[in-house]
């Protein structure tokens, strides 16, 4: 049921994945004091083709001016709205190893929409230590803090072995969106969203292409 004709804009996943890039490009452009850009300029700054950018933006609405371009400030607001960045999302990070600390200190949050609201580690002896402004809490405090801070996004930066149980705990605490840095496939209920970032996968893909280049080169020599 539901069926609701107009309001519910369907934005393709591929487009959603590029919007943050456009937003960053707009921020850069704005910092240079420019108030209007063409799709060509913005696309170059974001590393895509201009037709791609225009098609993507067309899914959000019609925010450009024909013959002129896009008003930087306005477009940034519209993209932010589409992504849900008009509210500030409280993020919890679990796992205070090097990676967790790096994430906790990451300034990329500044681009808007997020703040580190709580840090956790399974080692209780880290409790009380501060990373940045935020104290590290033991996992036992998760449910409590989730309630108090309204946590909705969880980041897993633990070793692979504990990732699933940490994930279960996050879900039990009401978190439905998880960013997983551990190299495991998490099992979650269907209403929970997981995204995985995996260094090993990225390196493997690079290695593949690097190998292809060698093969091409060999082939070139051979012929």
Partner DNA sequence: CAGTGTGAACCACTTCACAGCC
Partner DNA sequence: GGCTGTGAAGTGGTTCACACTG
Angstrom CA distances, 198 to 61, 71, 94, 114, 160, stand at: 34, 36, 16, 22, 11
- 8: contact with a copy of itself by CB under 8 A: yes
- 68: contact with DNA by CB under 7 A: yes
10 Å Cβ neighbour count for 210? 10
CA angle 168, 142, 148 (to 5 degrees): 130
- 223: contact with a copy of itself by CB under 8 A: yes
Q: Which of residues 152-171 bind a copy of itself (CB under 8 A)?
A: 152-153
Dihedral sign from CA coordinates of 120, 115, 155, 111: negative
- 66: contact with DNA by CB under 7 A: yes
Nearest alpha-carbon partner for 161 in 102, 78, 97: 97
Residue 20 binding target from a copy of itself, DNA, none, CB below 5 to 8 Å by type: a copy of itself
Q: Which of residues 71-110 bind a copy of itself (CB under 8 A)?
A: 82-85, 89, 91, 97-99, 101-103, 105-106, 108-109
- 205: contact with DNA by CB under 7 A: no
Angstrom CA distances, 216 to 57, 130, 204, 206, stand at: 38, 51, 18, 15
64 versus 154: smaller Cβ distance to a copy of itself: 154
- 202: contact with a copy of itself by CB under 8 A: yes
- 172: contact with a copy of itself by CB under 8 A: no
One symbol per residue from 2 to 41: x for binding DNA (CB under 7 A), - otherwise; what is it? ----------xxxx---------------------xxxx-
62 versus 223: smaller Cβ distance to a copy of itself: 223
Q: Which residue has the tokens 């008009």?
A: 86
10 Å Cβ neighbour count for 203? 10
Site residues, DNA (CB under 7 A): 12-15, 37-40, 48-52, 54-55, 57-58, 62-70
């Amino acid at each position: 049921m539901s069926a609701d004709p107009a309001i519910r804009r369907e934005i393709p996943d591929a487009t959603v994945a590029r919007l943050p890039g456009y937003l960053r490009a707009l921020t850069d452009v704005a910092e240079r004091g420019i108030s209007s850009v063409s799709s060509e300029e913005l696309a170059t700054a974001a590393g895509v083709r201009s037709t791609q950018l225009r098609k993507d933006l067309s899914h959000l609405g019609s925010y450009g001016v024909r013959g002129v371009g896009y008003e930087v400030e306005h477009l940034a607001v519209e993209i932010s709205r589409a992504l849900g960045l008009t509210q500030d999302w409280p993020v919890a990070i679990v796992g205070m190893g090097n990676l967790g600390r790096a994430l906790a200190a990451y300034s990329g949050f500044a681009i808007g929409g997020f703040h580190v609201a709580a840090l956790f580690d399974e080692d209780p002896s880290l409790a009380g230590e501060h990373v940045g402004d935020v104290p590290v809490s033991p996992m036992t405090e998760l449910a409590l803090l989730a309630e108090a801070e309204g946590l909705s996004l969880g980041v897993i930066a633990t070793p692979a072995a504990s990732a699933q149980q940490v994930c279960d705990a996050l879900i039990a605490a009401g978190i439905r969106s998880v960013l997983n840095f551990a190299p495991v496939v998490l099992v979650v209920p269907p209403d929970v969203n997981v995204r995985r970032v995996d260094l090993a996968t990225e390196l493997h893909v690079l290695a593949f292409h690097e190998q292809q280049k060698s093969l091409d080169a060999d082939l070139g020599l051979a012929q």
